[in-house]
Amino acid sequence: MNFKDKTFPNMIPDIENTTPDYYCTWQTQLYATCDGKPAGQRAAMNEKSLFDSSRPNGWSYFYEDIRKDLYFVMDDSWDVPTVDAEKYYGCLILNKEKFPSFAVEGDPAASLANLSEKIREIGWKGLGGWVCIQECELFSEGKTAEEYWEERVKWSDAGRLDYWKVDWGKSHADVEKRALMTKLAKEYAPHLTVEHAMRPAVLKECDVFRTYDVPALMSIPMTMEKIANLLKWEVGENVRSLINCEDEVYVAAALGMAMGVMRHSYTGDFMNGKKDMSFPSLHRNLKTKIDEVSRAVNWHKIAPAFKTDPSESTVDERLLTDQWVFENLSDEIEEWWTRHHLMQEAFSDNRLTKSGNARISRRMPISDVIPDQNGELPYVVNALNPNGAVSVATLGRTKQREYYVPRCDISLSVPKDSDTFGIFGFYGTLNLKGLSALEGASVKAQDLKGKEAYDITALVKIHGDTLTFDGDLIERIGTSAQTSDDTSEPGMLLKIERRK
C-alpha cells in the first residue's frame, strides 16, 4: 500500500517559532577564508559577506524557507576592525570599516537599527551578535561594569539587536557578570535574549546556555556528554534556563532544547579546491543535510524548547565510544582542535576517540533500545514536552572512517493520552507503549519538511496499548519531502486521532 494514496492538510501549524533558534555565521566565515584559521574567519565578517549574492558571500540569503523562525547571528568580529581588533573586543559598536553602509558615526544604536532592518527585510526573525565578555578600555573609562553593559543593552533595545551570543573574554569565568548582563537585558531590553556558555553555574541566572564548540567528527558523543553534565546543574526561577546544543538540530528538537545552526548550503570543497575540514564530506556531510534544520524548526512550532530541570531528567551513565581514523588530518578537522586542551587525550596514533552518554530523556522514562544484529547501538534521546508532545531521535555512530546509524528496535513508554509525536532518525522498529483508546483510532503522519499529511493507519500495527512502526515506513515518510540532493536523516510528525 502506498502511504500517499490519500493526502490530508498540513499538520504543522503556521505559527511563530517561540524557541530562540538561530543561524550563526562562524563556520560560514571559515568557508569564506578557505584556510580554517580563526584570524581569517574574523576578517571575513563584513557587509559584503552578508549581502553580496556571489559565492562565498550572501550568507543572509540562506534558509529562505525558515528564515522567519531563526535569528541571524553575526559571529566573532562584527564590532572590531581588521587591524588591532583586540583593542575593540567587547565594544558592541558596529564597525564602520566592515559595515560602511550601515554604521553611523557616534550612534551605535542607529547603526544596529540600520543593519537589523536590512536583516528583517530579507526575512529573518531578527539580528543577533557574538559578544566578547569584557569591557573595551577605549569606551569604558569612568564607567562601572553595570553602567557599561546597561549602555549596550539599551543600544540593543533601540537598535533591535535581539540576541547576544556571549562567549569568551577577560570575564568569561565571571558568573556574576554574566548574571548581570541577563538582569540588565530583562530590565531594559525585554526582547533581547542573552545566551551564555563556559560556566554551567550561570544556568541559574540565564535564559539560554550553549553547550559550546565541538568538531563535526565527534559532535554527537561530545554533545551528549555536555548535555548529560548540564542537566545536573541547578536552574533559576525567573529565567528560561534553556540549553542550546548548537548544530545538533535533531538533539535540539527531540530533547526540547534550542539550536545554534552552523551548517550552511555551500556544499563541497572550499572555493580554492581545498577540503572543507569543518564539515568533512566523507563523514556526515552536514552541508547536505539542510532539510534537518527545517524539520527541527517545524517541530519547535509544535513542541518548543523547555526549561531545564535536573529532577525531571534521566541520563544513562553507560558510555558509547566513537573513533575516527585520519588519513589526511588537515582535510578532516580544523587544525586548532589538535592543540585544544580538552582534546589532548582524545588524539592518539592518528585517531580521534570520544565517548558520550548512550541515552538521555526528559520528563518521561528513558528509551528501551535493543542492539542491532551486529550488537551496535545508536545514541538515543527522547522527551515529553510540557504541552504533551512526545519526541525521540536516534543519532549516529562513528567507527574507523565511517558514520552510520544502527537501526534498532526501540520502545518508549508514553502517557496514555499522547497524540502528537516527533520522530527523528533511523529505526528497526519503534514501539509506542502505554497508549489508550487505540481501537478505531486513525494514525496520520507527514514529513516535518513537507506540507501534506497521510493516513497510515493500515501500515502500522496496533496491539493492545502499543503502536508499532516499521523503520522503513518512518524513513519513507520522514524523507518524502526531501530536497533534491539533500541527504538529511528522517524527521516525521505523527498524530493519533482517537474515535470520539
- What pLDDT does residue 40 have? 87
- What pLDDT does residue 210 have? 98
Q: Compute the residue count for the chain.
A: 500
- What pLDDT does residue 193 have? 98
| DSSP state letters, 23-89 | EE-HHHHHHHHTS--HHHHHHT-SHHHHH--STT--GGGS-TTTGGGSEEEE-TTTTS-SSSGGGTT
Average pLDDT per block of 10 residues along the chain, 500 residues long:
82 98 97 85 96 97 98 97 95 98 98 98 98 98 98 98 98 97 98 97 96 97 98 95 98 98 97 95 97 98 97 97 96 92 89 98 98 98 98 98 98 98 98 96 97 96 97 98 98 95
- What pLDDT does residue 21 have? 98
Strands 390-395 and 461-463 turn out to be: unpaired
- What pLDDT does residue 214 have? 97
- What pLDDT does residue 5 have? 77
Which SS3 state, helix, strand or coil, does residue 477 take? Answer: helix
Which helix (H) or strand (E) element contains residue 129?
Answer: strand 126-131
HEC profile for 157-193? HHHCEEEEEECCCCCCCCHHHHHHHHHHHHHHCCCCE
Indicate the residue type of 127: L
- What pLDDT does residue 1 have? 59
- What pLDDT does residue 341 have? 85
CB distance 178 to 209 below 8 Å: no
Buried-exposed string 446-463: b where 16+ CB fall within 10 A, e elsewhere: bbbbbeebbbbeebbeee
Buried-exposed string 161-191: b where 16+ CB fall within 10 A, e elsewhere: bbbbbbbbbebbebbebbbbbbbbbeebbee
